[in-house]
Amino acid sequence: MTIMDAIAERHSVRAFTPRPLDFATWDALDSYIREINDESRLSFTLITDDPTAFGQSLLAKYGHFENVQNFIVCAGPKGPDLEERVGYFGEAIVLKAQMLGLNTCWVGLTFSKSNVRRLLKPGERLVCVIAMGYGVSAGSSHPVKSEGELSTVKGEVPEWFEQGMWAATLAPTALNQQRWHITLENGVCRLTTAPGPYTALDRGIVRRHFEIGAANAGEAQVAWL
């Protein structure tokens, strides 16, 4: 599966089978997470066979998650851009998991924060978790806003922007709010987000998808304002 396939096939999955992660899958994902931690200086930690993040607290029950035994703790040092960076690097992990045959769901609210905080190292700030495992289903698609609604281009639309937007419209956002907009002017992109819950995380996730789509059309380095 290519990363573009992973973007097309990924949907949030909240119910998982009891099957533990295969050793080779766990190993590949854990190594990838280490690479991402090295690059980002953030702290993503894969926790397996631990049901305590979901299922006990009221919020976790409200979230309708079922049988979450594996999840990634998303944390890092305090800083003004922590959430956006967690979104950007965490989405790379989400897409890697999809390519390895796993299903995922970003979870900002509906999990037990107190149980997960116990897993943090000193100095780390908890941002959210990513639930993961073998889904009972592959999830389903939901309505997405059109590329026209989500972007403005001054002049011709280059192919890399087209492909970047295709990937960005499929990026998960909290509550499926898609409160973002990308403007292209003189070869430079500007990503803006309207205020709302978790939009900083959304911003990083959208930027990751956009860059993957653009790179697929040969634009290795997107210029962001």
Q: Which residues bind ligand FMN (CB under 6 A)?
A: 11-12, 14, 63, 105-110, 139, 142, 172-176, 198, 201-202, 205
Q: Please give the Cα distance from 86 to 94 (Å, whole number).
A: 12
Counting every residue written for the chain, the total comes to 225
215, two tokens: 């790179």
Kindly tell me which of 164 and 172 has the beta carbon lying closer to ligand FMN: 172
For ligand FMN, the closer CB: 129 or 189 = 129
Least distance (Å) between residue 202 CB and ligand FMN: 6
Considering beta carbons, is residue 53 or 184 the nearer one to ligand FMN? 53
Closest to ligand FMN by CB, 75 or 184? 75
Q: Smallest distance from the beta carbon of 105 to ligand FMN, in angstroms?
A: 5
Pairing assessment for the beta strands 180-185 and 151-153 based on DSSP bridges: parallel
Selection from 87, 100, 105, 102 nearest residue 191 by Cα: 87
Q: Residue 54 contacts by C-beta under 8 Å, 6 or more apart in sequence?
A: 60, 63, 65, 68, 71, 111, 112, 131
State the nearest-atom distance from the C-beta of 183 to ligand FMN, in Å: 22
Strand 188-193 and strand 180-185: pairing? antiparallel
Q: Between residues 8 and 153, which has the closer beta carbon with respect to ligand FMN?
A: 8
For residue 21, give both structure tokens.
Answer: 């992660």
Nearest distance from residue 90's CB to ligand FMN, in Å? 9
Tokens for 7? 């973007």
* φ, ψ for residue 27, nearest 5 deg: -60, -45
**What is the distance between the alpha carbons of residues 158 and 101, in angstroms, rounded to a whole number?**
33
Nearer to ligand FMN, 97 or 105 (CB): 105
Here the tokens at position 58 are: 């009221």
Q: How far is the CB of 158 from ligand FMN (least distance, A)?
A: 26
Q: How far is the CB of 167 from ligand FMN (least distance, A)?
A: 12
